Amino acid sequence: METLRLHRLEKIILYTLKQLNKPSTFGEVAEKAYQLFSGVAGEDAEAIRSPSAVAKACGWLQSKGLVSIEEKVVSKTLTIGAEGIEYARNGLPERRLVESLKLRGGSAGISVLSQEMPSLAIALNWAKRNGWVEIGKDEGGETVVRLTGEIPSKTPAEELLDILMLDGGVDMKDLDDRLRKAAEELLKRQNVVKLAERREHIISLTDEGLRIASELALLQPAEIFKEVTKLTPELLLTGRWREVTLSSYDVKAPVPPVFSAKRHPLTQLIRLVKQAYTEMGFEEIKGPIVELAFWNFDALFQPQDHPAREMQDTFYIDTEERGVPPRQYVNFVKAVHEHGGGTGSRGWGYKWSEEEASRLILRTHTTATTIRHLAAVRKPPIKVFSVDRIYRNEKVDWKHLAEFHQIEGIVVDERANFRQLMGVIKEFYSRLGLRQVRFRPSYFPYTEPSAEVEVFLAGKWLELGGMGIFRPETTHPLGVKHPVLAWGLGLERLAMIIYGVEDIRTFTRNDLNWLRRTSPFKAYETSGRVSRKD
Ligand code: PHE
């Protein structure tokens, strides 16, 4: 039977409405339910009588289509407002105007009146409407106000104000036509009278509600009430749970959202990135955050006076301590910088300083990590990636962070070429659901050819990183003989688009609301910008 899905209180209300046999108010239902059920309800009896409990249960029943609730204005009470009290005591402005005109023999100039009456405009307006005065000019051209016609000693509005002063409030129903019209007029004036509406809710059974109520009507109140909504230790200990009817759970009822623990959106994206690379046969590598300038710059054939090395761009560790560039490469790197070192290049043509290469910095790109790995392994096959943190001395704003992530990788293979490099990058993005990728010629000191990677996202081409094939000036000093494909891509910029974030600082702000509603899968589903590859 469907009634099983109803809460006890809902059943009580359906039952009661059936007994009442007419649309009824919350109060009436509560009262009748109390009559019917108090005998069997024990200590719950008072709860049945509470109109607010009844109202709540009626709300549930309404959403299930078993009752309909109609709101009705049952009474309108007129009371006097602050201005009304003033008028009742000292007269309406139009009455005061008339009195003043009478004292002056029936007419007066506007200038005299306005000095006497602060609310002259209101007074004139209503006196004219009532047909008590007319406005004209005297011989001198001044505007004058003259009494005209019959003026009753008391208007219905004035009567009404008197009544309200005496009685406090009157029901609109109790007013005769004359006074009701006066009330409507007064309601148009500010703060003179007020209308308080009392509303009532009338509940009636729908057809479906009536059907279920009729089934319930076959039961005794005790049978309906014996249903237990809470299993208590007492019920268990006494064994009484065997006799009672336990109400069933509605497992489809809406529940408050649960915010379970989950990974940070950026971490989730990093995991997707790592998954994409591992699926493509790459291995992850790690490198130090505090890096030798040697690996971050020198080994990458960046001259020592390169602007990127300056304090504004690079965080130098604030210490006299120096690192030790690996002995076996120092002379080769020095030679390459100074004159090309037999690579066919002319180098940069300056005096290379080992001291400068020994400085400790926070790595400014993860290419420092891949070049280290390259030096250690040297020979193909190498297919490695890293997704890691890098540091740049940037002023933090909506577009920049000083600490962010790069997605880096290299492939070393005897026959590796630029076309394969483009293929690897395209494949990587397509695994994230991004299929439109293009390359533009670019420049890096350590690659040739070099390109910029652009991805079509959210309606525009977004520059996401750089790539290229390491120059001999980079590979030769390390003893690497095969072509090295290399790339470094931004993570946060990609994340901003995927998550629809306009301010890059969102990722580090720990805004719980944002964290709770954000997940990459949701972003993929709802943004419509990127569609995930299954
Ligand atoms: N290191 C470059 C950057 O930080 C990206 C890059 C990596 C370019 C490898 C070419 C090769 O922008």
Query: Per mean pLDDT, which range of 190-204, 245-259, 340-354 is the poorest?
Result: 245-259
3-state secondary structure 313-381: CCCECCCCCCCCCCHHHHHHHHHHHHHCCCCCCCCCCCCCCHHHHCCEEECCCCHHHHHHHHHHHCCCC
| Residue nearest ligand 1's atom 10 by CA | 467
pLDDT at 521: 66
Distance 210 CA to ligand 1 centre (A): 74
Higher-confidence residue of 252 and 104: namely: 104
Mean pLDDT of 223-237: 83
pLDDT at 124 over 70: yes
In a domain, 533, yes or no: no
Distance 363 CA to ligand 1 centre (A): 12
Is 434 found in the same domain as 305? yes
Q: Which of 296, 306, 365 best tests ligand 1's pocket when mutated (most atoms within 8 Å of CB)?
A: 365
CB burial of residue 351 (10 Å; 0-12, 13-18, 19+):
exposed
pLDDT at 245: 77
Is 458 found in the same domain as 409? yes
Atom of ligand 1 at shortest range from CA of 367: 1
Distance 462 CA to ligand 1 centre (A): 16
Is 98 found in the same domain as 40? no
Percent of the chain with pLDDT over 90: 70
Is 189 found in the same domain as 236? no
Q: Would you place residue 63 in the very low, low, confident or very high pLDDT band (cuts 50, 70, 90)?
A: very high
pLDDT at 407: 98
**Structural domain range at position 88:** 79-196
pLDDT at 227 over 70: yes
Mean pLDDT of 52-77: 91
3-class DSSP state of 209? helix
Q: Which of 404, 406, 444, 487 best tests ligand 1's pocket when mutated (most atoms within 8 Å of CB)?
A: 444
pLDDT at 105 over 50: yes
Distance 115 CA to ligand 1 centre (A): 84
- Both tokens of 196, joined, read 């308080």
In a domain, 257, yes or no: no
Distance 509 CA to ligand 1 centre (A): 28
3-state secondary structure 73-132: EEEEEEEECHHHHHHHHHCCHHHHHHHHHHHCCCEEEHHHHHHHCCCHHHHHHHHHHCCC
Is 286 found in the same domain as 402? yes
Higher-confidence residue of 422 and 105: namely: 422
Q: Which of 389, 475, 487 best tests ligand 1's pocket when mutated (most atoms within 8 Å of CB)?
A: 487
Mean pLDDT of 389-399: 94
Task: Give whole-number Cα distances, 415 to 292, 412, 421, 478, in Å.
Answer: 31, 9, 11, 19
Is 348 found in the same domain as 237? no
Atom of ligand 1 at shortest range from CA of 467: 10
Mean pLDDT of 233-238: 92
Is 238 found in the same domain as 146? no
The backbone torsions φ and ψ at residue 198, rounded to the nearest 5 degrees and listed phi first, read: -105, 130
Distance 490 CA to ligand 1 centre (A): 10
Atom of ligand 1 at shortest range from CA of 364: 4
Atom of ligand 1 at shortest range from CA of 408: 7
The whole-chain average pLDDT of the chain stands at 91
pLDDT at 527: 46
Mean pLDDT of 424-441: 95
In a domain, 435, yes or no: yes
In a domain, 280, yes or no: yes
Is 210 found in the same domain as 192? no
Q: Which of 296, 314, 367, 453 best tests ligand 1's pocket when mutated (most atoms within 8 Å of CB)?
A: 367
Atom of ligand 1 at shortest range from CA of 450: 10
Q: How many domains does the chain have?
A: 3
Is 273 found in the same domain as 393? yes
Distance 466 CA to ligand 1 centre (A): 5
Q: Within 10 A of 295 (CB to CB), how many other CB atoms are there? A: 25
pLDDT at 478 over 60: yes
CATH of residue 399's domain is: 3.30.930.10
pLDDT at 170: 92
In a domain, 71, yes or no: no
- The 10s digit of each residue's pLDDT in 22-39 is 999 988 999 999 999 888
Is 465 found in the same domain as 438? yes
In a domain, 97, yes or no: yes
Residue 512 CA, distance from chain mean position: 11
Ligand 1 site residues, Cβ closer than 6 angstroms: 365, 367, 444, 447, 465-468, 486-488
Distance 375 CA to ligand 1 centre (A): 17
Look at the alpha carbons of 161, 164, 166, 172 in this order and tell me if their dihedral is positive or negative: positive
Q: Would you place residue 529 in the very low, low, confident or very high pLDDT band (cuts 50, 70, 90)?
A: very low
pLDDT at 53: 86
Query: Per mean pLDDT, which range of 251-255, 442-446, 523-527 is the poorest?
Result: 523-527
Distance 492 CA to ligand 1 centre (A): 15
In a domain, 325, yes or no: yes
Instruction: Report the amino acid identity of residue 172.
Output: M
Mean pLDDT of 304-313: 87
Atom of ligand 1 at shortest range from CA of 487: 9
Atom of ligand 1 at shortest range from CA of 470: 11
Distance 468 CA to ligand 1 centre (A): 8
Distance 465 CA to ligand 1 centre (A): 7
pLDDT at 534: 36
pLDDT at 207 over 80: yes
CATH of residue 181's domain is: 1.10.10
pLDDT at 372: 97
Is 466 found in the same domain as 403? yes
Is 210 found in the same domain as 191? no
pLDDT at 532: 42
Q: Would you place residue 448 in the very low, low, confident or very high pLDDT band (cuts 50, 70, 90)?
A: very high
Mean pLDDT of 262-270: 93
Look at the alpha carbons of 73, 74, 80, 84 in this order and tell me if their dihedral is positive or negative: positive
Q: Would you place residue 128 in the very low, low, confident or very high pLDDT band (cuts 50, 70, 90)?
A: very high
In a domain, 260, yes or no: no
